[in-house]
Structure 1
Amino acid sequence: MVYGEPIELEDKRILPVAKVNYYVGGGGGYSDASENTATAQGEGGGGHFAIKPIGVFEITPEKVKFKPVINIYFILTIFSVVTLGLGFLLKRSRK
């Protein structure tokens, strides 16, 4: 988790929170050299780095409250699955 700089608003402090992921990988080489021939294979590597906001902490003198970020793609996926499922059931019940 990564926490951003606090933002002051009236009597509140807002603290952004994000999740950081990184993945790395690598490979090696091979060489089979002899007096008559030389054979070699190369190396490789790669990685992935992602930062995903997950919410904010709202800090007041009375309490601390976490407010998550709403993932609109997740909500749309659930809505689509439910709609398609209901449509399939209604079509099937009419037969």
Structure 2
Amino acid sequence: MVTFVAIVEFPVGAEAVGQRYEDTVLALLGRHGGHLERRLRGTDGQNEVHVIRFDARAGYESFLVDPERTALRSTLGESAPTTRVIEVHEG
């Protein structure tokens, strides 16, 4: 099992679009052996933090190239959120 923290930033003016995008792509996790543990929203509405677990690293890698995810991301263009992903473990 692998665990990641994703720090998601929405472009100014595209917060609602970004949140809808995240709603959609987070729903795809299950098909890749992933599970959303926590989803936290910043008080400014510009950021989200996700804690995500995958059964295996291969699931994370397949999630990244999921055709539905990549197609949706490309349609958003400049409105797409930026994401920093950090692999973590219990410490």
Report TM bin, short chain: under 0.3
Instruction: Please state which structure has a larger fraction of its residues in helix.
Output: 2
Q: Which protein has greater RCO, CA pairs closer than 8 Å, 6+ apart? A: 2
Instruction: Please state which structure has a larger fraction of its residues in strand.
Output: 1
Structure 1 or 2, whichever has the larger Rg, is 1
Q: TM-score, normalised by structure 2?
A: 0.24
Q: TM-score, normalised by structure 1?
A: 0.23
